[in-house]
Chain A
Amino acid sequence: MSEPDKRPAGFGFDRSGAQGATKSTGSTPSTSGEPDSPDNVTTLLADDAELELSSDEAGRHVEETLARLDAELVGLTAVKRRVREIAALLLVDRARQKFGLASSRPTLHMSFTGGPGTGKTTVALRMADMLHALGYIRKPKVHVVTRDDLVGQFIGHTAPKTKEAIGRAAGGVLLIDEAYYLFRQENERDYGQEVIEILLQEMENERASLVVIFAGYSDRMETFFSANPGLSSRVAHHIAFDDYTHGELIQIADLMVAAESFRFDDDGREAFSEYLSLRMEQPRFSNARSVRNAVERCRLRQAKRLVELQRPLTKDDLITLTGEDIRGSSIFGYAESRADEAADGDDND
C-alpha cells in the first residue's frame, strides 16, 4: 500500500527539492534538450574577468549567417541593420549571462511589412538560423502558415487548428503570411479574432521558445495592427521592407542568373534593364519574384531559340541569355496597351 507522506515527487513536479531527493538518487540536471540554453551555463565568470565576444562559438555562426544574408540579399539596408542589432543584443545577453547578470528573455516577435517579393520569407529563414545559433529558439525552422491554416470553418474548430499550427512551429519560427487576413473588420463574428487571442496568449508564454513573425503588405498591415493594438504592442520589432530600385533589381537578376549557371551578354543585360523599366510601371509588379519569373521565361525562349538553331551547340550557347531572348517578351510588344499584359503570362500575385 502507499505511503502518502513519502510520495512528494509526482509527475509534473520538480524533483530537485529537498523532499524529492528522497525518491531520486542524484538530482537530474535539466534535460530539456536545449544545449545552448543559458540554464546550462554553470560556471560564472569573475567580476573582473574579460570576455571576448568573438570567442563565443555562436557568435561565429551568427557572423556566417549575417554574411550570407548580405551576400544573398541585395539592398534592404534597414532590414539588415535591424537583424544585426537583434543578433548583437542576443550575443551581449549571452555574455551577460556568463557573468551571472540578470537579463530577461527579450521578446522577439516581429512584423515584416513590405511589398510582394521583397524577401520577407528569405529574411525569416535567415532569422531562424541566427536565433537558433544564439540559442534563442531550439530549431532553425520556419513554419509558414496563412489564414487557412489557422482559422476554422465552424465554431470550436479554430482553437484546435491554431494550437496545432503553434505546436508544429514549437521551438522555431511561426511565420504568418498575409497576416492582415486574420482580421476582418466587416464581420465581427469572424473566427480570425479568436486566432489573434490564442496567438497573444502564446506570445506571452515565457516558456515557449516560439517566435511569431507577421508578414504582409505595408498598408494592410497598418490597418491590421491599428485594429489590434494589443497585438501591435506585443510585437517588438516592426521591420519594413522597401521596394527594390531598378539598379537593385538588375543586381538581383544577375545573382539569380549566375546561381543557375547562366549569364547575360551585353545586349542581354541592356534588354533586361529595359524590360525591368517597362515591367515596373505595370500593375502587379512583385519585385524579386517578378524578376525570377522573367528570368524563367527568358530561359524558355532561350531553349526554343537554341533548338531552332539546328546546329551543334557550344557551352557558351547554353549559358548565354541574349537580347533576343529578353526582347521576345510581350512587354516590349504591348508596352502601350496594358490590356494585353496578361498575354505575357506574368505573375499575378
Chain B
Amino acid sequence: MDLRHGAFSYLPDLTDDEIAAQVRYALSKGWPVSIEYTDDPHPRNIYWELWGLPMFDLDEPDAVLAEIRACRSTFPRHYVRVLAYDARLGRQTTALHFLVQRPKDEPGFALTRIEGSDRRQRYGIRSYATASAPADRYQQQ
C-alpha cells in the first residue's frame, strides 16, 4: 500500500523538479523549510526525526534539495518529508508538509482489537513494518 500522508499524497510521487517548485512556493511565503524522516509511519507518530536544522533565510530551493538528497542517501529506506512552518502570529503551525521519499515496499497496517471492560471493543492499528527491529524494517527491495 502507499502511505497517504501529507499534501499531494494521492498524486504520483513528486519528481525533484516538482518538489523544488513546492519548496519555492513555501519559501516565497516566508515559511522556513525543514526535513524529517522516520521508519514508523503510524498516523499518530507526528514527531519525526529532524534532519539537520530548519533552513531559514532561503529564497531558492537548491539548498533544500541538496539536504533532501543527503537525507535520502543516509536513510534510503525511510519515509522522508518536507515541512514548511508558518511562524506568523495567529497561525504558528505547519503550513505545508509532504512526503519526498517512501520505502520501496510498504507493508501496510494491521487492525488490532482489544477487549476492554464490559466486553467493550477497542481498536488500534499497527504498522507491520514496526514488528521488526528498526534495522530490519523495509528490507524487501
> A residues touching B (Cβ–Cβ < 8 Å)?
1-2, 4, 7, 9-15, 23-24, 28, 30-33, 138-139, 141, 160, 163-164, 166-168, 170-172, 208, 210
A7→B2 CA distance, assembly (Å): 10
A138→B60 CA distance, assembly (Å): 9
Q: List 16 A-B contacts (CB under 8 A).
A: A1-B1, A2-B2, A10-B13, A11-B15, A11-B100, A12-B69, A23-B13, A24-B12, A30-B17, A33-B20, A138-B60, A163-B66, A164-B63, A167-B64, A168-B57, A171-B62
Contact check, B59 vs A32: say whether CB atoms are below 8 A apart.
no
Task: Verify if B30 is at the interface (C-beta below 8 Å from A).
Answer: no
Q: Inside 8 A of B126's CB, which chain A residues have their CB? A: none
The 3 closest A-B pairs by CB, nearest first: A167-B63, A170-B62, A171-B60
Apart from the given pairs A11-B102, A15-B15, A31-B21, 18 other A-B contacts in the complex at a CB distance below 8 Å: A2-B2, A2-B105, A7-B104, A10-B13, A10-B101, A10-B104, A11-B19, A11-B100, A12-B16, A15-B12, A24-B12, A32-B21, A139-B59, A139-B60, A166-B63, A167-B58, A168-B58, A168-B63
Q: Inside 8 A of B66's CB, which chain A residues have their CB? A: 163, 167
**What per-residue 1/0 map shows which CB atoms of B31-73 lie under 8 Å from chain A?**
0000000000000000000001001011111111010010010
Would A208 and B1 be within 8 Å (CB), given that A2-B106, A12-B72, A167-B55 are in contact?
no
Q: Inside 8 A of A23's CB, which chain B residues have their CB? A: 12-13
Task: Verify if B97 is at the interface (C-beta below 8 Å from A).
Answer: no
Q: Inside 8 A of B63's CB, which chain A residues have their CB? A: 163-164, 166-168, 170
Q: Per DSSP, are chain A's interface residues mostly helix, strand or loop, or mixed?
A: loop
Q: Inside 8 A of B60's CB, which chain A residues have their CB? A: 138-139, 167, 170-172
A31→B16 CA distance, assembly (Å): 10
B14 to chain A, nearest CB (A): 6
Interface centre among A10, A11, A138 (most CB of B within 10 A): A11
Contact check, B105 vs A12: say whether CB atoms are below 8 A apart.
no
Q: Inside 8 A of B100's CB, which chain A residues have their CB? A: 11-12
Q: Inside 8 A of B16's CB, which chain A residues have their CB? A: 11-12
Contact check, B101 vs A11: say whether CB atoms are below 8 A apart.
yes
Contact check, B108 vs A1: say whether CB atoms are below 8 A apart.
yes
Contact check, B106 vs A28: say whether CB atoms are below 8 A apart.
no
Closest to B53 in A: A160
A246 to chain B, nearest CB (A): 42
Task: Verify if B136 is at the interface (C-beta below 8 Å from A).
Answer: no
**What per-residue 1/0 map shows which CB atoms of B9-27 lie under 8 Å from chain A?**
0001111111111001000
Interface centre among B16, B19, B20, B80 (most CB of A within 10 A): B16
Q: Inside 8 A of B15's CB, which chain A residues have their CB? A: 11-15, 28
B137 to chain A, nearest CB (A): 15
Contact check, A4 vs B12: say whether CB atoms are below 8 A apart.
no
Contact check, B108 vs A12: say whether CB atoms are below 8 A apart.
no
Closest to A141 in B: B59
**What per-residue 1/0 map shows which CB atoms of B90-107 lie under 8 Å from chain A?**
000000000111101111
